[in-house]
Structure 1
């Protein structure tokens, strides 16, 4: 009789490959699934009785910004709590390498203004013992990890590293600079980088540099971008994450050309369902069909979970998608922001620029902001629980922007607002998007926007909403979307599905009890530098295993195990390079 490190017994196995679920057992040894099936017998050092529970492949969360958070939170929570066992970093072209010493502070400022990772936390936690991207990968390999990590080369740091900050933001690369960027990308992928990520959004974007201007890739010469795509074609490996299409910045043709030039999988961002933009999701699905007809391998990340934002105007800057709002964001400290909100010239510019449709993809229009706590300030505390539109109607006010700025001024920018549904709750439309074979659920943005957003619950919500509540999808279909399909896109042949000899990345949960608290984040004061974040805890998730080791029990009870691996850096030298799954497949 076989002996295992861990034996999971009696659960309903949903393998992530789309096969019918069945009651069975899983035997784990040395981090791998050694035996799996309905009739498995054996002994083990640890037995987990999963009777009545779902045993599924761990979630693969491919759109995160945990690049920095991993340094103080090895488990990438909230994602790690909700069954995520593998994450991808380097998304949207933002990251921390390659980086010359003189640019370190600017990179941290950029991470704060683009992804709202607090500068104080970055300053307190990062060791900066790397400069090149291969050094960054060695650094990542060396830090404790409770999740597996896929690391993409972010193109903003790459451009700044080669061209310099000013040049990267103002001109095309020279032929020599372009060749150097290609060489740097090759070196990174030689050492295990999984591909590259970028954003191309022009000036209509919430991703703003610390100087209030667009980030380099958003306004880059597309020929510089296509040269990077050529590198992946030449190598025959890698993936590309491309933020090229949001409702206010439609650059999908750039994404298509990247797919043509690279010949590699392109993860297009973003497909969402929005009630203010009723045809947008259909246009994105048509784009995927166009790419497929052309023989291109393009998938689209969806932003379709039932998510919400809770924020104070002091911390909120997603409205930067409207340039006039950036005056408020970059006004300075709290007092300066309050002064800006009171300034009549600013208000006039805002009145002229504002349109509800412009803010629809950025959490929602001002009209839908719900005042949840005015901190006792009259008359606004009498209107708590109402939306800004409802307050305007109650007070007979016509100008939404002026009314909102009055609240900001009177409450000194620290009143609390709630955006109850950042996306559409139209079940049929969301199901239409998720059931498309070329969509990938996610866009958790884990690690980013921590003072007003927490999207790591996306997988929990997808199972609840699309499977248990609406019956639009089966558990088998949903778990294929959450693990099997992203593993296929990233060519992760030994994880993402539960099969013999695959990595034992597993989530065990009570299907009926699965949940989370809606419309109210908890506050956690657990960031370095005295900073805080909003968190969303799971319900009904009983175990999370990464490479065979339990990382969480009963939701958020951490075991302290850190079995995560940097996927793509295998540690064994092969012909002068470190072997990667992609490289080995090519060879």
Structure 2
């Protein structure tokens, strides 16, 4: 008798091969049969034509703090993810000396929009070195397996102290010590190294992230140490990844080609896969073609360089319980403390509505970064999209708020105000800054179609107050493999490959990512026709009552981790089979 048998499913095995009807048997946490399984199982799942896929592998999560206070790993847990990797984009919490803990909190707060009070309450700081940090994670149990990179910012500050925070050039001795610590981290089981050169990443004190301006000798010294370990990947966000912005003045071809040349040097020096963020941006909407072509040229030369792409427009979701353009106006701030239901009643009062619409944001007593963000939202009001069910993440131009307001004969701010305050006050608007420069997802379709690109940028543990891209795995399967109307689809087999085997292979996770005998029994059973995203909603369940956006999905009949069912019919079972992954050479 088998431990578990999944019967009659449409197996999409993760390799890209055509789907096939088969049973899947599981014993001792491993897949033991795929095909016609005659023996019974202690537990059985009747898949009856539902998709059976490998568990999804999320390589860009930012769950660094959450790994220490949450064993569910929401919101990824509800979207078929069975392996998740943190320590992305050069920020993290290890190694660290006590006097620099606060600086690392400020960096994470600023870069990833995680409130400092949430981080401070959630972390116990019972580590100093990166191996200590892994040991701390290794003592915990989760709904899924976790792993993490060693990140450039804490490493640089640990080695250089205030010189690292002040962006001084690393000395040869500094580089040698960083390389030694990277090698120690890799020997302890780090998934790789992460860094970032993007200027838009700043701390909550509006200071650039240590490592942003690192010279090549520093980056290549670290890359060499990574290569010596024989495993892991180098993840980086290159300069100009968001295009030309208020801080990045030159993201043109020369700058971007130079950045790709640096990525090539890192890949040659390390001999390891390099994953870099690639997005479409408005200032140079065809830049992605240049970067993609350079990466494909490097791949033809034997280098493993993977542009890391998202699955939909990247931007901000705005609502009354999150960010919105009225939040800093005096008459709104008078009622901002009220529970949502009471606040909506107060906001519908005609006199208060008139006052709020006549006011402007007041910066007094407000974090300047928050004020700037609200001002940016205000300037983009005509180009945001009110969201309604069923959710449309590739809206036509006539769904922009400016067009809708004009058709209704209403001022734009009044139209937006009434949208937010309608119903129960949970209405949402979307603003797409990246991957939507052409008003469609055509660029992303081409990017996702290329074998060289990796999928991710889910950021499940970050940007909690205005984004919830941890739902991207469910979005890929429902939108790109079923629902898209404004352009071609991707096959289910392509999508599943992007979500599973490809990411697993980049990080050397050869035990998962494919439905085959001998592989780890990380599996999803999905009613593909019923798979549907829910409306994003704000919840207040973080340490100290901190808030975050969650977006659920329906259609997951089961999620299995190491042979244990962790979710059944879109609800958790309470099982916690997930553990820390310690990466090792093949």
1:122 paired with 2:122, answer no
Correspondent of 1:522 among 537, 550, 565: 537
Q: Deviations over 1:75-127 (max 9, x none)?
A: 32221211011111111011111111122222222211110122222122212
Correspondent of 1:234 among 228, 236, 249: 228
* Rounded Cα–Cα distance in structure 2 between residues aligned with 1:70 and 1:214: 25
**SS in structure 2 at match of 1:581:** coil
* Rounded Cα–Cα distance in structure 1 between residues aligned with 2:495 and 2:510: 19
**SS in structure 1 at match of 2:363:** helix
**Do the aligned residues in 1 keep the contact of 2:455 with 2:503 (CA within 8 Å)?**
no
Tell me the equivalent position of 2:154: 157
* Rounded Cα–Cα distance in structure 2 between residues aligned with 1:183 and 1:488: 26
Correspondent of 1:256 among 245, 249, 264: 264
Tell me the equivalent position of 2:216: 222
**SS in structure 1 at match of 2:500:** helix
1:305 paired with 2:312, answer yes
5 Å-filtered alignment, 1:409-448, equals 418-421=429-432, 423-424=435-436, 426-448=440-462
5 Å-filtered alignment, 1:364-383, equals 365=380, 367-369=382-384
Correspondent of 1:17 among 3, 15, 18: 15
5 Å-filtered alignment, 1:58-97, equals 58-97=55-94
* Rounded Cα–Cα distance in structure 2 between residues aligned with 1:438 and 1:496: 17
**Do the aligned residues in 1 keep the contact of 2:15 with 2:514 (CA within 8 Å)?**
yes
**SS in structure 2 at match of 1:491:** coil
* Rounded Cα–Cα distance in structure 2 between residues aligned with 1:485 and 1:181: 30
**SS in structure 2 at match of 1:287:** helix
**Do the aligned residues in 2 keep the contact of 1:523 with 1:535 (CA within 8 Å)?**
yes
Tell me the equivalent position of 1:104: 101
Q: CA deviation at 1:145?
A: 1.3
**SS in structure 2 at match of 1:526:** coil
Q: CA deviation at 1:420?
A: 4.8
Q: CA deviation at 1:13?
A: 0.8
Tell me the equivalent position of 2:511: 494
**SS in structure 2 at match of 1:6:** strand
Range 415-424 or range 171-180, more displaced: 415-424
Tell me the equivalent position of 1:289: 296
Q: CA deviation at 1:215?
A: 0.4
Range 486-495 or range 419-428, more displaced: 419-428
Stretches (4+) displaced over 6 A: 312-315, 388-397, 414-417
* Rounded Cα–Cα distance in structure 1 between residues aligned with 2:361 and 2:84: 38
**Do the aligned residues in 1 keep the contact of 2:73 with 2:143 (CA within 8 Å)?**
yes
* Rounded Cα–Cα distance in structure 2 between residues aligned with 1:264 and 1:479: 24
State TM-score, norm by structure 1: 0.79
Q: Which residues of structure 1 form unaligned runs of 5+?
A: 318-332, 373-384, 569-579
Q: CA deviation at 1:174?
A: 1.8
**Do the aligned residues in 1 keep the contact of 2:183 with 2:228 (CA within 8 Å)?**
no
* Rounded Cα–Cα distance in structure 2 between residues aligned with 1:524 and 1:450: 10
Correspondent of 1:208 among 202, 207, 210: 202
* Rounded Cα–Cα distance in structure 2 between residues aligned with 1:558 and 1:127: 27
Correspondent of 1:478 among 457, 481, 495: 495
**SS in structure 1 at match of 2:132:** helix
Tell me the equivalent position of 2:180: 183
Q: Deviations over 1:236-258 (max 9, x none)?
A: 32210011133235433322221
**Do the aligned residues in 2 keep the contact of 1:69 with 1:76 (CA within 8 Å)?**
yes
* Rounded Cα–Cα distance in structure 2 between residues aligned with 1:246 and 1:363: 20
State TM-score, norm by structure 2: 0.80
Q: CA deviation at 1:565?
A: 2.1
Would the alpha carbon gap of residues 313 and 119 (structure 1) be closer, same or farther in structure 2, given more than 3 Å must change? farther
Would the alpha carbon gap of residues 312 and 50 (structure 1) be closer, same or farther in structure 2, given more than 3 Å must change? closer
**SS in structure 2 at match of 1:282:** helix
Q: CA deviation at 1:309?
A: 2.6
Tell me the equivalent position of 1:565: 579
**Do the aligned residues in 2 keep the contact of 1:271 with 1:284 (CA within 8 Å)?**
no
Tell me the equivalent position of 1:540: 555
**SS in structure 2 at match of 1:552:** strand
Q: Which residues of structure 2 form unaligned runs of 5+?
A: 245-250, 325-335, 338-359, 388-398
Tell me the equivalent position of 2:37: 40
Correspondent of 2:196 among 199, 205, 218: 199
**SS in structure 2 at match of 1:10:** strand
Q: CA deviation at 1:295?
A: 2.9
* Rounded Cα–Cα distance in structure 2 between residues aligned with 1:143 and 1:364: 45
* Rounded Cα–Cα distance in structure 1 between residues aligned with 2:152 and 2:82: 25
Correspondent of 2:362 among 339, 345, 352: 339
* Rounded Cα–Cα distance in structure 1 between residues aligned with 2:406 and 2:195: 40
Q: CA deviation at 1:50?
A: 0.8
* Rounded Cα–Cα distance in structure 1 between residues aligned with 2:426 and 2:210: 34
Q: Deviations over 1:40-77 (max 9, x none)?
A: 11122211111121110111111110111223332322
**Do the aligned residues in 2 keep the contact of 1:6 with 1:548 (CA within 8 Å)?**
yes
**SS in structure 2 at match of 1:218:** coil
* Rounded Cα–Cα distance in structure 2 between residues aligned with 1:48 and 1:417: 37
Tell me the equivalent position of 2:342: none
